[in-house]
Structure formats: C-alpha cells, structure tokens
Amino acid sequence: MEQYNIDELRELVEAKKYVELKTILAEQNEIDVALFLEELDPEPATVVFRILPKEMAAEVFAALSAPVQQHIVEAITDRELSAIIEDLYIDDAVDMLEELPANVVKRVLRNAKPDTRTLINQFLKYPDNSAGSIMTAEFVDLKKAMTVRDAFAYIRRTGIDKETVYTCYVIDASRRLEGVVSVKDLFLARDDQLIEEVMDRNVICASTLDDPEEVAHLFSKYGFLSLPVVDHEQRLVGIVTVDDAVEVIEQEATEDFEIMAALSPSETPYLKTSVLSLAKNRIVWLLVLMVSAMLTGGVLGKFEHAFAAMPLLVTFIPMLTDTGGNAGSQSSTLVIRGMAVGEIENRDFLRVLWKELRVSMLVGAILSLVNFVRLIITYPGNEMIALTVALSLFATVVIAKTIGGVLPMAAKFLKADPAIMAAPLITTIVDAVSLLVYFNIAMRLLNI
C-alpha cells in the first residue's frame, strides 16, 4: 500500500536532491513520510524532516518514534521547535514529552506559548492509565444559543486547529457539558435553527480517571467518532478520538497476548527490542513457573515406587498433562477474552461454572473413550491400565476446564488481571492435580 518506492527516495536523500524529494514527500500521507524517516539514520532523517512542507511537519513529527523525535528536537532551532509544538495536538505533545529526557522537556516547554504550556502541564498530570492520558484538548465547543449558521461560521473560523470538527460539544458558561451535535445534524438542520434545538442532550461521556480500555469499549460498542471527557465537576476537559481508541484496543489485545504467554508486557515492537530486554521480559515468569513445576516434580517423587514397579505408567504422563493443560487453556482463554470484550461479567460466575462442567464432561468422555479403545488395542490384556488412564483423563479434563473457567473470574474479582490465569499458570496447576489423580487411581486400581 506504500505510495512511493522507498529505495528511490533513499537515493534522492543520498544525492542530496532535496527539491525533488520535497515535491514527492509533499504528496504522501504523513504516516508514510514518518515511516520513511524511521528507515533513515538520525542525521539524514533530521535533514529531510526540516525540508518538509510546514503544514505537514507537526503530523509527521507526531507519528515518529521517541528516539527520532528527540534527535530532531535537539537539532532544530528554537523557532522551528516552537512552531511544531503549537501545531501538535495536546495528546501528541504530551506523549512526546513523556518520552524525552528532562533537559529536552525543559527546552520544549520554554519554546511553547504560555497557554500551550499551561495546557501541557495540566495534561501531563493525568495518570498513565487514564482517559485523561489519551484525550486531546482540540475540540469544537458551541453554545446552545448559537444558530446553526453561527455554528458553521465558528467551525470554519477555528476548525483548522481542531483534531476533529465532526462532533461538536455544547457547553454552558462554566464549561459544563450540555449536549452534543454532529456536523451531520447541522447539515440536516435549517440555518436559523438554534443549537439547543438540534443538539442531543443524552451524552455518553467518560471521566478523566476512567480506564482507557473501558473508554475504548464505548467506541466499539456505539461506533463513536469521538467521546467527551469530563472532570469530577462535569466540566468538559477534553475528547478522545476514534484513532486513539483503535490504538488502545490494539495495545490492550497485545498486552493480553503477552501476559497470557507468561511475558511481561512491553510496548516496543519485537524487532526494535534489544535481546537483553526481551530476555528480561521472559525470565521472571519462566523462573516462577519453573519453580512451580519443580513442586509438581515433588508430587511425582511421592510415587517413585509406583513407576519403579510399573514403568509403563510413565509413558502416559505427557498425554495426560498436555491434554489437561490444553483443555484448561481453552476454557481460560474463552473466559479471559469474554471478560476483555465485556461479554462476561462477574455476575456470570455460576453460569460459566455450570457451562464448563457440562462441556468438560462431554469433551472428557469422548477423549477418555478414544484413549481407552486405543490402549485396549495397543496393550491387549492390560484392561486395568487402560481403565486407569481413561478415568484419570476424564477427571483431569473436568478439573482442568473448571479451574480454567473459574480462575480468571476469581482473579478479576480480586482486582488482578484475569489474563495471568492463562495457559502457563493453568498448565502448571493442572499438571500437579492430574498427576495426583493419576497415581492415586493407579495405586487403587492396579494394587501397587
């Protein structure tokens, strides 16, 4: 989908054909220009950034990664810096400042106009994981006494600085939110109608401290283009736009994938993460799970006499523990994802438990039967061993699925992240349980 040939552009950079380069880049989407700059070394990237058309610079800058942003900030003049800051939307400016070293932040703030500086400082105070941290301040605010004609004039006068003009927010003198009106509503109204008559008073909004994940859910549920954010006094302080909500949805899914695979979540793309960081993100959980698995080994140690007497028993261990682990992960994954997208709530605990019990008995019965038949065929005359394995498998599947369905909900109830209760931990727990079940059944049925 790239609209240009990257090698061609690179040659222009190397040949210092900046006029030609500028003409081509001016035609591209800002995101594509940013991706191109990321491919260059910091020096030429800065040079190319400075030749970009003025109206493009801020948007390209916002899409760059922190290291490239820092390099550019350090290389450009105070005047260029000031122009970029004023053109950036507040959320992008704040995102940038959070990544820069303190001395660079100081220089950036020194070059911002007083109003911008106040706004940036205010936005920097919102906690990292809050609606406030993903909102922006550039929205269209209308008054209910305006006519539709006034509103259009106002939007056309001020719209250039707004992140979205398509949903307008109607506020009173103390900035309290009274309604919303979309530009589509304005189009469909008569020019002399009052905003008061066309606005929708039933406004769905978020609070500055709401979880961004909850905010993103409102977008996927209602199909909004933007959502107003109010403070504790119901005053409108910002809006979240759908592109930021999409980013949150993708990041939250990535985070869940990582946690569910026993990784410490990281926002850096895989290929840009150093070997050391990758190792750090993986080692903690591997160590925890390894120690837990040692305990399972301890369980096994208690039955040394059993498998010394009947070594064949050992060969069924991988099948039992793997199937148990898989059965449990299936259930935990469905429940974790169901809770993440808001389909399963705490109050559904008993429904989940009851569902998992029935599903696990059905699935367990089929798996046990298949196993029993295969063992009867493979080891004729060893019916009791076949029965032992089949019974253990059935019990393992039922226990695994029940644990897998219930633990994520328990975690959420205890205000922990349900995603921890995924495959790795469930597998470890199920391993210990299934081995206990297996050898207890074996000792009883086989008299060892």
Q: Which of residues 346-405 bind a copy of itself (CB under 8 A)?
A: 348, 351-352, 355, 358-359, 362-363, 366-367, 370-371, 374
Least distance to a copy of itself, CB of residue 316, Å: 6
Is residue 307 a contact point for a copy of itself (CB under 8 A)?
yes
Is residue 322 a contact point for a copy of itself (CB under 8 A)?
yes
Least distance to a copy of itself, CB of residue 249, Å: 6
Is residue 341 a contact point for a copy of itself (CB under 8 A)?
yes
User: What is the C-alpha to C-alpha distance for residues 438 and 57, in angstroms, rounded to an integer?
Assistant: 66
Is residue 285 a contact point for a copy of itself (CB under 8 A)?
yes
Instruction: Report the residue from 6, 31, 145, 384 that binds a copy of itself according to the rule CB under 8 A.
Output: 31
Two structure tokens written together for 418? 């349900």
Q: With respect to a copy of itself, which residue has the nearer C-beta, 60 or 76?
A: 60
Is residue 334 a contact point for a copy of itself (CB under 8 A)?
yes
With contacts defined by CB under 8 A, name the span among 44-52, 124-132, 173-181, 244-252 that binds a copy of itself. Answer: 244-252
Is residue 27 a contact point for a copy of itself (CB under 8 A)?
yes
Least distance to a copy of itself, CB of residue 401, Å: 9
Is residue 327 a contact point for a copy of itself (CB under 8 A)?
yes
Interface residues for a copy of itself in 399-438 (CB under 8 A)?
423-424, 427-428, 431-432, 435
Is residue 276 a contact point for a copy of itself (CB under 8 A)?
yes
Is residue 446 a contact point for a copy of itself (CB under 8 A)?
no
Q: Which residues pair with 239 in a beta bridge?
A: 136, 228
121, amino acid identity: N
Count the Cβ atoms, other than its own, within 10 Å of residue 426: 29
Residue 64 is given by DSSP the state S
231 closest CA partner among 164, 178, 175:
175
Beta strands across the sheet bearing 177-182: 140-142, 167-171, 177-182
Interface residues for a copy of itself in 147-206 (CB under 8 A)?
152, 155-156, 159-160, 165-166, 183-184, 187-188, 201-202, 204
Q: E strand or H helix at 207, and its extent?
A: strand 206-207
Interface residues for a copy of itself in 246-265 (CB under 8 A)?
246-247, 249-250, 253-254, 256-258, 260-263
318, amino acid identity: P
User: What is the C-alpha to C-alpha distance for residues 47 and 208, in angstroms, rounded to an integer?
Assistant: 39
Q: What is the DSSP string of 347-412?
A: GGHHHHHHHHHHHHHHHHHHHHHHHHHHHHHHSTT-HHHHHHHHHHHHHHHHHHHHHHHHHHHHHH
Q: With respect to a copy of itself, which residue has the nearer C-beta, 122 or 273?
A: 273
308, amino acid identity: A
